[in-house]
Amino acid sequence: MTHDICLNIHYSAPDEIWDMIGEVYRSMDHWCDNAGYPAWRGENINLSAFVEPGGIQISGEMPDELWDKWCGELKSKLSLKLGYEIGEPEDGFKFKYWTPFEKKYSDIKTIDDVKIVFNDYSTFYWDDFTEHERDITVKRPYHAFRSPLIELYIYFDDTDILSGKKLQQEFLEFQSRLNELNIHICRFKTVDEI
């Protein structure tokens, strides 16, 4: 009768995504308009939704025979509306991040064939990416890793006018390291040397 789920919707989603989530919430049976926060009420029904660092948490009471159908419908509607599969992260459902992550090459702590970790301990797994793009010719040279759910930009320092050779060396060393680790992600943009 008491239920608690966490869904893979990240708290950093932009306002237009929260508006879409609100539409789905309101379309669900037992929606309560006057709670002041997302809630569903009825006979033996008292559910609330909150945004947590680990995703959207929905908890409260609902008879088991209603819960499975209601929860399945909520996940299905959210998946359709948001354009990616919604479910519980503990069941392997991945978060979508609407804002790209931006990191500096100099902040890489470790890198191996599974993941890259930065000095702030943010960790990214290579399996999460489907595309790789690199460009050394732009003002802020970068390697970009993308998928429909996440983007990671690794920027190289080009602030020192005398650092052109160092920048080129670091850029190519990073690509060489990726090759050594056998990290080959779909698509590469052509890169000209500086």
Domains of the chain: 2-91 (3.30.310), 101-180 (no CATH)
pLDDT at residue 78, rounded to an integer: 98
What does each C-alpha distance from 112 to 121, 146, 188 come to in angstroms?
14, 18, 20
Q: Kindly give the parts of the chain with pLDDT less than 70.
A: 158-163, 185-194
What does each C-alpha distance from 9 to 6, 144, 169 come to in angstroms?
9, 23, 39
pLDDT at residue 184, rounded to an integer: 74
pLDDT at residue 163, rounded to an integer: 65
Residues 146/189, Cβ–Cβ less than 8 Å: no
pLDDT at residue 53, rounded to an integer: 87
pLDDT at residue 186, rounded to an integer: 52
pLDDT at residue 169, rounded to an integer: 87
Using CA atoms, how far apart are residues 184 and 33, in angstroms rounded to an integer? 50
pLDDT at residue 187, rounded to an integer: 45
For the whole model, what pTM was predicted? 0.78
